[in-house]
Structure 1
Amino acid sequence: MTETVTILTAKLVRTMDDAVPTGTGVAIRGGRILAVGTPEVLAQTYPDAETDDRYADKVLTPGFVEAHAHMGGLDSPYFVGYFPRTSPDGTPLPGAQSFQGVLDALKAWDADLPEGAPLMASGFDTLFFPGEVLDRHALDSVSATRRILVIHASGHVATASTAMLEAAGYDASTEIEGVVKAEDGFPTGELHELAAMMPFMSLAGLDLSKGLTNEKGMYNYAADARNHGCTTATDLASFDVVRPGGLDLLAEVTGREDFSLRLVPATLGAMTKSAEEAEQMAGLLSSLQARATDKLHLGSVKLMLDGSIQQYTAKLQEPGYVCGHDHSIWNTDAETFRAQLSAFHKAGLKVHVHCNGDEATEVFLDTMESVLAESPRWNHRHSVEHSQLTTRAQYKRMAELGMCANIFSNHIWYWGDQHIDLTVGTDRVQRMNAARTALDAGVTIGLHSDSGVTPLDPLATASYAAERRTPTGRSWGDAEKISVKEALEAITIGPAYLLKLDHLVGSIVPGKFADFAVLDRDPFEVAEPKELRDITVFGTVVGGAHFPSPVLAAA
């Protein structure tokens, strides 16, 4: 039986494909795109087609692709970030715009929680409160008995209360890199990077053996993506593919007709601590790729080198941090990293490596060159994740090595002023998140949010790379601006290529999935890049299925 052809009409179809850049209709069959054109010509080509005019006054673009985000773990309802945001389920999270406001919010939540329950909050960033210190004493002023853990906005630093430190067995005798100590030798409560932070996760109520994902969290993530026009997204530090029952959950939920997202989980290969462990995980992940589906794409791995620039834990080359602070930590030492990269590369997997600082990027490039010499592999597309201080010379090497860059352009907005004043200074900011340099060097780029570090909103993410202005209007250097078209490519076909999915998503061309973002206007026609942030998203189409956002439902 021949499947029905449907012609979706639109005010405009923006394909992100230069061969046929626009149309006013798109023909769909079996969840795939047949053709783009005018409704009249499409109806002549497919005379038995049904016409669907629900988007006749809307603009269709390819569904946006978010190549670096996190499905769970950083979206606590106890949010103390500086910028207000909306949780994936639509709940407003006002955050806290003063240090006292942070403590007041924690006290209010403490009063509502049952005795003995831990309190884990997220989003705090000390850079917005100069002179204030969130240490164990500050948290003890909230409660002297409750186990409290505050995850900082970057996800690379946390602060624990005294009760939480005691529960973890941390005291003056603790010798773990990243555990900050006071003059008396006792931990201050501040914890830098994974080795120091991980023992507290289960105490805060996160059982990593069960992953960070559940059915409700998956639907919340998909709804958040839908509300912002995103049809494909990663979970870029997943435990679920390799934990017992985790892959079954991912496959079952993504396989449902009402699930509105193509999911790309990247397993946290940084968990491996030896060549043997890395090879074992690589073999397991390779064997599981047969379970991939149209809405569950497997075969990606996440590795980690350095930390966070705004937390001073990222690895920077000279001249380093302008303030003189440097708490930089290698999350993975060079020998272990080489063993990891080699194992996953040889297994044919796609590798994403967290590199905020340029020194971390240099280590990745050196290791990549060595691994490729030992095990040549074309079309690997391994990517530098965040790539915030990657230099011109490094981008040229990346192009030569066949690598991609996933650039964290949201930093231009969320920490733009702070990076100028407190971390790298005016000169290096102008070279930071250098999308223009990357493209000119021939490197394919994506732009990302790192949700929940910053909100998942691809149009906003694109606007920051094209505008390069902070919330106070200060410039991040016009030389690294990219055009609106290039920015839109970096949230569609660019990240699709980076994820090795550009044959399936990222543009509206025959044969690809019928995945669209439904917008109120043409993003190519904004007068200024910042207007991308004002475009209304009415929902998405995923494989020809319609997922209206609350905005459209209320219309």
Structure 2
Amino acid sequence: MHESRSIHRWKALLGILFWGLLLTPALGQQKADAVYLGGTVVTMDAEGTTAHAIATAGEKILAVGSNEEIRKLAGEGTVVHDLAGKTMLPGLYAAHDHFPGAGRVGLFLVDLNSPPIGKIKTMDELIAALKEQAKSVPPGTWIRGRGYDDTLLAEKRHPTREDLDKASIEHPIWIGHTSGHLGVANSLALKLANITSETKSPSGARIRKDEQTGEPNGVFEECGWLVTRKIPGRTQDQDLEAVKVAAQAYVRQGVTTSVIANGGTLTIGLLERALDEGIIQFRIVSMTSGGPYLNARASVEKRNSPLLRTGAIKMLQDGSIQGYTGYLSEPYYRSSDNRGYPNRSREALVEKVVELHKAGYQLAIHGNGDASIDDILFAYEEAQRVFPRNDTRHRIEHAQMMREDQIDKMKQLGVSPSYFAGHVYYWGDRHRDIFLGPERGARISPLASTVKRGIRFTMHDDTPVTPVDPLQLVWVAANRETTGGKILGPQQRISAERALRAVTADAAWQNFEETTKGSLEPGKLADMVILDQNPLEIDPGKIREIQVLETIVGGQSVFKLEEN
């Protein structure tokens, strides 16, 4: 799948000629506020052209072309930047995440991640981390943690209420699974939440109980809200600290647009205050749920900020593969009957999808297992049958177990997936050996099959599930290497150029922003990132080593790597 370097060099030459022909009549009409000369400008436009220089005026790109052409646009007040052979790309998208969730880990949540993200390897280490936090706060204060992974702990199991009681019986404790779809409470937390042996599991969820006693063992699948609703909320001032931390992490990775999955009323209020105080300097597209959350959409639309807009309506139809709550058509590996389960019945999903589709919304529905994807595609097809619409760009989020026939159906319906491609790296070995088996495991995030059908898609980290890093996603897509150093499903590799489109131009398209963002073209926003190497020229195995040198939003530098 990898394109040769000679092909990219020919593209670069053709690009220079293309821009020269395009820009010659316009040169001299307007002077630039800034010009960037002497680099490789990978435009990610439809033709895949490259150039050597770019000019900006205000928040927008004025021109792209050769050094000589762009130099002519510099006036007395123009700031001249020397790219010194470095590479400029369109700003990168975090195409599906939960900003500012990453900022809360460490500030308000004990980091319980295992390597390669964190340090926790055993149950004793997990308990010790919670116990240490308990020492620093008064009895009765809630202790929260995030990121534990039962399959990476030496004991190969979830913590239980008894384990968490070893950390403290005087503090209520709640910890979230790395997937975000399960969690564990200690005995005091269960008591405060009024969870007993008599408590019934909600529809599409499960409260795990001891087989002998019938008492809850502390583990909750898809219904952690039964406990977390009892936890006192943080102040907005506290959450603003998390926004600051997360915002810095995003721009360091070259992110100029974050697409937040499920931004509700509280999140929108927090983001609006962060904008007022200048804490957020990059762009955010916030999905919301339906119902009362439509008020949050109205607030954003009234504000009309260039840094905050609303996107699709977000829904869930199943859970996570690594939590065994993803809904599969065939049982999990080495299981005779466990297929996970849906969030709601197919009939209920269709009813909701038709309602929102008819109201004119774009929809983004979380579906990991192929059975849940069947439900989602059926609902989209029914919605179009009842109320035909053009160019809906409805989405399927994560789409781990997408089958070949389902990719064909997506093509037919005009549906676009956002793949959690980082799964190949972070969970690939365990998908192959524990959850799905070799055959299904090799097909997670079937990018090459999607490219073959001509379907546009995006890739994401689902931060804070995994750290935000769009360039690592490009590396994953081009190499399919796992944390164990194995290659998982090499037939699903794609070229670095195609992977870059998934976090630039195609991400802009998926969010109806292709006329303003996603590529470096005259008239579009000057959202740009400068890299120390060209990901289209180096060995694909080294793409993850590329450093972001500078991130620019609307012509303004929001991050610059300090030289040692």
| TM > 0.5 | yes
TM-score (norm. length: structure 2): 0.88
Q: Report SS of the residue matched to 1:141.
A: helix
Decide which of 351, 371, 385 is 1:339's aligned counterpart. Answer: 351
- Equivalent of 1:83 in 94, 115, 122: 115
Q: Which of 253, 262, 266 matches 2:274? A: 253
Q: In 2, are the aligned partners of 1:7 and 1:39 still within 8 Å (CA)?
A: no
Match of residue 215 from structure 2: 186
Whole-Å Cα distance in 2 between the matches of residues 407 and 64 of structure 1?
16
- For residue 220 of structure 1, report the CA deviation from its aligned partner: 2.5
The answer to whether structure 1 residue 294 and structure 2 residue 326 are counterparts is no
Q: What's the CA shift for 1:228?
A: 0.4
CA contact (8 A) 1:282 1:344 kept: no
Query: Matches of residues 346-425 of structure 1 in structure 2 within 5 Å?
Result: 346-425=358-437
Give yes or no for contact 2:100–2:247 (8 Å, CA) kept in 1: no
Q: Deviations over 1:124-172 (max 9, x none)?
A: 0101135444111111111122211110000000011011001100011
User: Are 2:96 and 1:68 equivalent residues in the alignment?
Assistant: yes
CA offset at residue 23 of structure 1? 1.7
* 1:104 maps to 2:95: no
140, 144, 148: which one pairs with 1:116? 140
Calculate percent identity across the aligned residue pairs.
Answer: 29
**Counterpart check, 1:516 vs 2:528:** yes
Shift of 1:255: 5.9
Residue of structure 1 in register with 2:502 after alignment: 490
Q: Which runs of 5+ in 1 are unaligned?
A: 86-93, 270-277
The whole-number CA distance in structure 1 between the counterparts of 2:552 and 2:101 is 27
What's the CA shift string for 1:195-232, capped at 9, x where partnerless? Answer: x211222334447xx89994333332221110101100
Show CA shifts across 1:485-528 (max 9, x none).
Answer: 1111111112111111121111111111101112111111121x
Summarize deviations over 1:272-325 as a string: whole Å, max 9, x none: xxxxxx4x6558746853433221121421100000000100000125443457
State the AA in 2 paired with 1:497.
Answer: W
Q: Does residue 1:146 correspond to 2:171, yes or no?
A: yes
Contact preservation (8 Å) 1:65, 1:233: yes
Corresponding pairs, count: 526
Question: Once the 2 structures are TM-superposed, how far is the Cα of residue 4 of structure 1 from its aligned partner?
Answer: 5.0
Separation in structure 2 between the aligned mates of residue 212 and residue 387 of structure 1, nearest angstrom? 36
In structure 2, do the counterparts of structure 1 residues 325 and 460 end up closer, same or farther at CA, with 3 Å as the change threshold?
farther
Matched, 1:312 2:339: no
Q: Please list the CA deviations of residues 153-192 of structure 1 after superposition, one character each: whole Å capped at 9, or x if unmatched.
A: 0000001101100110001110024101112111010000
Counterpart-to-counterpart distance in 1, 2:502 and 2:60:
22
Change in CA separation of 1:285 and 1:338 when aligned onto 2, cut-off 3 Å:
farther
2:562 corresponds to: 553
Q: TM-score, normalised by structure 1?
A: 0.89
Task: Answer whether contact 2:287 2:311 (CA < 8 A) is retained.
Answer: yes
CA contact (8 A) 1:123 1:153 kept: yes
1:445–1:490 CA contact under 8 A, matched in 2? yes
Equivalence for 1:274: none
Q: Which residue, out of 165, 180, 200, partners 2:227?
A: 200
Tell me the equivalent position of 1:126.
150
Q: Secondary structure at the match of 2:323?
A: coil
Larger mean Cα displacement after TM superposition, 150-159 or 427-436: 427-436
Cα distance in 1, alignment partners of residues 101 and 113 from structure 2? 15
* Aligned counterparts of 1:432 and 1:212: Cα–Cα separation in 2: 40
Partner of 2:257: 232
C-alpha distance in structure 2 between counterparts of 1:322 and 1:46, whole Å = 66
State whether residues 300 and 309 of structure 2, in contact with CA within 8 Å, keep that contact through their aligned partners in structure 1. Answer: no
Distance in 2 between residues matched to 1:531 and 1:113, nearest whole Å: 44
Q: Which segment drifts farther, 13-22 or 466-475?
A: 13-22
CA distance in 2 between partners of 1:46 and 1:371 (Å): 53
SS in structure 2 opposite 1:300?
strand
The verdict on how the C-alpha distance between 1:502 and 1:256 changes in structure 2, with shifts beyond 3 A counting, is farther
Q: State the alpha-carbon separation in 1 of the partners of residues 357 and 542 from structure 2.
A: 41
RMSD: 2.4
Counterpart code for 1:219: K
**Residue 484 of structure 2 corresponds to which residue in structure 1?**
472
Q: Is the 8 A contact 1:72 1:212 kept in 2?
A: no
1:5 to 33, 39, 42: 33
* Equivalent position to 2:78, from 46, 50, 54: 50
Q: 1:13 to 1:49 in 2, by over 3 A?
A: farther
Whole-angstrom CA distance in 2 between matches of 1:346 and 1:283: 19
Q: Do the aligned residues in 2 keep the contact of 1:409 with 1:461 (CA within 8 Å)?
A: yes
CA 1:4–1:45 in 2, change beyond 3 Å: closer, same or farther? closer
My pick for the range that moved more, 32-41 or 291-300, is: 291-300
For the Cα contact (< 8 Å) 2:257–2:283, is it kept in 1?
A: yes
Post-superposition shift, 1:341? 1.8
> What does residue 174 of structure 1 align with?
199
Q: 1:264 aligns with which of 285, 288, 293?
A: 285
Conservation of the 8 A alpha-carbon contact between 1:3 and 1:30: no
Q: Measure the CA separation in 1 of the matches of 2:503 and 2:261.
A: 16
The letter for the 2-side match of 1:227 is R
Q: Which moved more, 1:257-266 or 1:327-336?
A: 327-336
SS in 1 for 2:72: helix
SS at match of 1:385: strand
Aligned CA distance change for structure 1 residues 132 and 355 (closer, same or farther; 3 Å): closer
SS of equivalent residue, structure 2 residue 69: helix
Change (3 A) 1:336 1:48: farther
Question: Is the contact between residue 43 and residue 49 of structure 1 (CA under 8 Å) also seen in structure 2?
Answer: no
Shift of 1:19: 3.5
d(CA) in 1 for partners of 2:272 and 2:294?
20
Which one of the candidate residues 37, 54, 57 is aligned to 1:29? 57
Bigger drift between 99-108 and 505-514 goes to 99-108
1:200 counterpart letter in structure 2: V
- Assess if the C-alpha contact under 8 Å between 1:459 and 1:532 holds in 2: yes
SS in 1 for 2:96: coil
Cα deviation, residue 22, structure 1: 1.6
Cα–Cα, structure 1 residues 463 and 82, in superposed 2: closer, same or farther, change >3 Å? same
